[in-house]
Structure 1
Amino acid sequence: MLLLTSAFPVLGAGRVAADPSSGAGPSATVPRCEELDGKRIPASAMSLPTTGGRVESAVVRSSPVGAGTITYCQVDADLFPVDPSAPPIRMRVDLPYDWNRKAMMFGGGGYDGTVPDLAGNVPFGPTDRPVPLARHYATFASDSGHRQIPTAPPSLDGSFGLNDEALNNFAAGDALKKTRDASLFLIRHAYGTNPAEVYFSGGSTGGREGLVVAQRWPEAFDGVISAFPAWNNLSEGLDLGYLAQVLSRPGAFPGPEKQTLLYDRVIGACDGLDGVEDHVVSNPSGCRFDPHTLRCPGGADTGPHCLSDPQIGAVTAMSSEFRWPYRIAGGETHYPGFPFLSGADMRTPFLGFGTTAPADPMPPTSGYGLQYWDQWVKYFLTRDPHHNALDVDPRHPGKWLDRISHLSTIEDRNDADLGPFARAGGKLILLHGAADELVSPSSTSEYYERVRDLLGPRSTHAFLRYYVVPGANHANFGTPAFAAAWDSLSALEDWAEQGRAPTNAIVSDTLHHRTRPLCAYPDWPRYRTGAPDDAAGFVCTH
């Protein structure tokens, strides 16, 4: 189902003739690394506009990957922009010896700006199975069209947004297709043949990118693993901007001790509702907790053992749906709130509330999402690096409304019609942690429901599985209540290559040495009998 360029003659569905200039036969599994060094990548190799590219280096390396050592050709290349003032796309391809004839593209995170680790794992990947490169996949990725400023916090540099081409490379996902096309060009020249299968995996921004490729280029990938996807990027940003204003109000920010108090009380109220007390709330939608039960006497802040009225207001705002009273061209109208389990666990304060209130300039100790909003206002919206992000009110944006509406068409990748992807044979695995502090799991559930409502339950089930993992947070950051690990890559391979859909999946908690059934949404695991650390003791239920 690959989208093939015209660089090589087509032999049949999903196949390409060997590159006659490579000198390698179609069954070659050892890359011709020395021939790639300095190689030009023609603009015609990519379906989107560039001015071509060039391999900057191609070096054979032997590195420990997992339990073994992998020998591979590391290829670093630049793809040149149409706008000479735009930065290049910096990309990397790792080409293993004893290639398995498959390829894997990795997505990024936050504002991207660096090339992901090509020896890394898929999101929520297993710790007891080889990573894709160790399985002898050709792996590739890019910085999405800009290089992060070295002094910026990781993945929190939005300064590239001042350039339209760089903005589209990142936000609209143009860099994804350019990188994919250029990487397949290099793979063909290295091995003399095209990959039999090409997959994509990513989480957060990378999860969003997985949905972008399925929506925009439905024939480009055979399968996608999309975890905790920030698909409605602008919509979430508006909610984060509103929360930044709320949390910056005098006395509204709940400090670390109060965040711990809130988390502990929520766990205490809802932990046993699934039949076992294990610090995991399996059905967050069934968890009813009123923060007013923590109200300080008289509503004033009297210490770490209660919440003041402004703090209750802030907690309620974080957990409530945010709607804006105007139309935007992208079509979104709201962003769902975060469950009380999100951002209240002091094991992961950076992703949730942070440890200090938002301000101008934005403190690096504020929540990740609040810093993300600050960068978005400065470089995407106002394009004024000195603009105070707290001065922009997402409820009443005034002169910024037209710009917000335009950006929504670029950033909110909300096309629910995945029919072309399904008809091309694509398979999609969606994953989200129920205690995600940074991307609302309710948002992913909403996108899944849109797809199901549009295509129908049976058609959706034929190509898509969506799992919500109880207790899992954003990317297993810090010490989550449930450190999720599942071999989604093997499940995707079996589905895409053998037609065997995932069934009876089991997810492990690598920190607490326990397992749970991985229930397809909207099911969740309820304890029934036996050992509470064994998935066999649970049953998936509504």
Structure 2
Amino acid sequence: MRRMRPVHLKRYSRTLVMILGAMPGLSASVAYAAAREAPLALRCVEFAGAVLPPELIALPTAGVQIESAAMVAATAPGNQQGGEYCRITGRIKGLKASTPDIRFDLNLPRRWNGRALQIGGGGYNGVVVSGTGVMPFSPDRAPLAQGYATFGDDSGHVGNSALAIFGLVDEAVTNFGHAHLKKTHDTALALIARAYGRPPERMYFAGGSTGGREGYTVMQRYPDDYDGVIANSPALNFSGVRLMGVKLGQAEYATPGGFIPPPLLEYVVQRTLAVCDRLDGAADGIVSDVAACREHEPEIIASLRCAGRAPSHETCLTDAQLATLLVMRDGLSLPYRLAWGVTGYRGYNVFQGTHLTGLLGLAHQPERLPVPSFFANGYLFAQGDGYIRYFVTRDAAFDSLRFDPLYPGKYRGQLVALSQTIGAMNPDLGRYIAHGGKLITLQGLADEVISPNQTIAYYEALIDRFGVDQVDAFMRLYMVPGFQHGSGVFIPSVDLLGALDNWVTRGVSPETLTATDIAAATNGRSRPLCRYPLFPRYSGKGNVNLASSFACAEP
């Protein structure tokens, strides 16, 4: 068992005494002993209706209100974890009355493994993460069922959309950006220690997309609080991707002929597969050798261009339509710097097998709605539009098609401030590395929401700062061919939490992993998950649906 750092022992002892409501002279050892003697069911009931003081949390709050605390029987309907646990719900109060509460859930299994797992959210959050279910893209056994104490929150507002008034409230924006993570962590940690009579031996964080950004955020801002992080498809450069969405929407709707009908977007993928599918040795509908495919990009684009042919909704793209795709491919370059020296957003693998016709893809109709929606007007544009109106200009009537990402004028200061508050681009993970923290990141090379090249760029920045050996000692990056943002022609299922825990507790560093495909059309096939920059290449013999028929190869 790892020894707690002295500063943590002091803080835990103090908060335990406060929660117990004991006399000032009560020692921490007595507090721990009292918690250990009572059954979990009795301790669980004690929490109901409790009010916890602001001093419990390292960041300023107006305290914590526990709303409910009850044991959930192993046989209760909807109990996915297969055992009895204590479910606690509560609210963390803001300093101002106008700031929405941070709502949280905490689950304490009767059979505790001594570990805790904080789970991140998605999109703009706004929905409490219950922590009771199976982690996305992981095997069927939930962390709670494995004995983890789990917890999550709503990041301090209700409603998973950029079109929300919380963007107009400074404290709520700060909560969404990073503060909710620390406030919920400190609250849950104290309640766990009170319930079990001791703090967790290990504290982990896991999340994807916004939750992935949150994973990088806790390593950058609160490095002493976590032993391991799983941060998948991380929305690191949050302002960058939102500006990218606005620029893409302008190409589709503010440029004559820029809209691309979905059949043409599908044609782009099919042309790409015709050229690139077999570059990895297997005709399996997956572009695995993205680097080799990129070398063929000029010929793919040339074959797509109408070039004197009559424009068609099915077999060729006009110059204006190709320009829209090139906006997405090329990314965004800014003539000014956001926080941590960021000067843009990396482009997407548009001509390397990325499907852009799904719910999170490009626009499905040629007319822009007054309030852009994901399906009709494209996910990136709809999110970017809301970000500009509610977070940047703070004017719900503002037309985002008139916003210039390159020269934002009077809004530049707000953009920079937001990138500091919400973005997670600080490459200085030195403190997290120094205390032995570990990181696993998995992302699709065909991701249509978060550019895989932005994630790779951050990884390469870590290499530049710390060197390959030090980065290898604490980080694993797995870039998955064919995987998009939760969908794709290959959707991996792999036990990353088990890999992280083995690494942290036993020193067994993960190398090549095996992922099972859970895409409906190809469910059950497997592929090796290769450490970046390697990719799975077919050996030329054996079952193409088995990972054992592939080896990780250099691009």
Give TM-score, length-normalised by structure 1. 0.92
Partner Cα distance (2:382, 2:324) in 1: 17
Rounded to whole Å, the distance in 2 between the matches of 1:462 and 1:31 is 43
8 Å CA contact 2:41–2:71 kept in 1: the answer is no
Q: Verify: 1:259 aligned to 2:279, yes or no.
A: no
Q: Is the 8 A contact 1:344 1:353 kept in 2?
A: no
Distance 2:89 2:46 in 1: 13
CA contact (8 A) 1:53 1:80 kept: yes
- Deviation, 1:177, is 0.4
Q: Give distance in 1, aligned partners of 2:423 and 2:201.
A: 31
* Aligned counterpart in structure 1 of residue 315 of structure 2, from 284, 293, 305: 305
C-alpha distance in structure 2 between counterparts of 1:26 and 1:419, whole Å:
40
Q: Structure 1 stretch 244-253 or stretch 461-470: which is displaced more?
A: 244-253
In 2, distance between residues paired with 1:485 and 1:337? 26
Cα shift at 1:474: 0.7
Is the CA contact 2:67–2:90 (under 8 Å) kept in the aligned structure 1? Answer: yes
Match of 2:36 among 21, 25, 29: 25
Per-residue CA deviations over 1:314-348 (Å, capped at 9, x if unaligned) read 111111132022233441112111112689526x5
Question: How far is the alpha carbon of 1:232 from its aligned partner?
Answer: 0.8
Summarize the Cα distance change of 1:393–1:161 in structure 2 as closer, same or farther, 3 Å threshold. Answer: same
Instruction: Give the equivalent residue in structure 1 for 2:66.
Output: 55
Distance 1:352 1:376, change over 3 A: same
2:334 maps to which residue? 324
For residue 6 of structure 1, give the secondary structure of its aligned residue in structure 2.
helix
C-alpha displacement of 1:65: 6.8
Q: Is the aligned partner of 1:138 residue 2:142?
A: no
Q: How far apart are 1:24 and its partner, in Å? A: 2.4
Rounded Cα–Cα distance in structure 2 between residues aligned with 1:332 and 1:397:
16
Would you say 1:494 and 2:502 are equivalent positions? yes
Query: Do residues 92 (structure 1) and 100 (structure 2) align?
Result: no
SS at match of 2:34: coil
The residue number in structure 2 matching 1:366 is 377
Please give the alpha-carbon distance, in whole angstroms, between the structure 1 residues aligned to 2:407 and 2:268.
31
1:204 aligns with 2:217: no
The 5-angstrom pairing of residues 183-222 of structure 1 reads 183-222=188-227
Q: After superposing the two structures, state which structure 1 stretch, 289-298 or 439-448, moved more.
A: 289-298
Cα 1:451–1:38 change in 2 (3 A) is same
Matched pairs, number: 526
Q: Is the 8 A contact 1:341 1:435 kept in 2?
A: no
Match of residue 506 from structure 1: 514
- Deviations along 1:130-171, one digit per CA (max 9) or x if unpaired, are 1101112111011011111xxxxx445443110000001112
Aligned-residue sequence identity (percent) comes to: 38
List aligned pairs for 1:462-541, cutoff 5 A.
462-475=473-486, 477=487, 480-511=488-519, 512=522, 513-528=524-539, 529-541=541-553
Q: Per-residue displacement from partner, 1:392-437 (whole Å, max 9, x unpaired)?
A: 1112222222222222222322111212111111110011111101
Taking a change above 3 Å as real, the CA distance of residues 315 and 86 of structure 1, as seen in their structure-2 partners, is same
Cα distance in 2 for partners of 1:26, 1:300 equals: 81
5 Å matches for 1:385-534?
Answer: 385-475=396-486, 477=487, 480-511=488-519, 512=522, 513-528=524-539, 529-534=541-546
Q: Distance in 2 between matches of 1:380 and 1:89?
A: 19
Amino acid at match of 2:513: A
- Determine the C-alpha separation between the residues in 2 that align with 1:487 and 1:260: 32
Query: Using a 3 Å threshold, how does the CA distance of structure 1 residues 448 and 35 change in structure 2: closer, same or farther?
Result: same
Tell me the distance in 1 between the aligned counterparts of 2:42 and 2:391. 41
Q: Distance in 1 between matches of 2:176 and 2:310?
A: 45
Residues 230 and 441, structure 2, Cα contact 8 Å, conserved in 1: yes
Cα 1:341–1:72, aligned 2, differ >3 Å: closer, same or farther?
A: farther
Quote the Cα distance in structure 1 between the aligned partners of 2:470 and 2:394. Answer: 43
Instruction: Please tell me whether the aligned partners of residues 162 and 387 of structure 2 are also in contact (alpha carbons under 8 angstroms).
Output: no
Equivalent-residue separation in structure 2 for 1:435 and 1:100 (angstroms): 37
Q: 1:283 aligns with which of 263, 285, 289?
A: 289
How far off is 1:509 after superposition? 0.8
C-alpha spacing 1:66/1:42, structure 2 compared with 1 (3 Å): closer
Does the aligned pair in 1 maintain the 2:286–2:353 contact within 8 Å?
Answer: no
How far does residue 266 in structure 1 lie from its aligned partner after superposition?
1.1
- Contact kept in structure 2, 1:360 and 1:388, CA below 8 Å: no
On the 8 A contact 2:276/2:352 being kept in 1, the answer is no
Instruction: Measure, in 2, the Cα distance between the counterparts of 1:221 and 1:77.
Output: 22
* 1:161–1:167 Cα contact (<8 Å) kept: yes
Contact 1:27 1:193 (C-alpha < 8 Å) held by counterparts:
no
TM-score normalized by the length of structure 2: 0.90
> Deviation of residue 25 (structure 1)?
1.4
- 2:233 matches 1:228: yes
User: Aligned equivalents of 1:156 and 1:90: distance in 2?
Assistant: 19
Q: Which residue of 2 aligns with 1:237?
A: 242
**Does the residue aligned with 1:312 lie in a helix, a strand or coil?**
helix
Q: What do the CA deviations read for 1:174-201 (whole angstroms, capped 9, x no partner)?
A: 1100000001111122222211111100
In structure 2, how many angstroms separate the alpha carbons of the residues matched to 1:357 and 1:423? 52
Structure 1 residues 172-187: aligned runs within 5 Å: 173-187=178-192
State the one-letter code of the partner of 1:177.
K
- Give the secondary structure class of the aligned counterpart of 1:140: strand
- Write the letter of the residue equivalent to 1:228: S
Superposition deviation, residue 221 in structure 1: 0.9
**Unpaired segments of 5 or more residues in structure 2?**
17-26
Contact 1:483 1:510 in 2 (8 A): yes
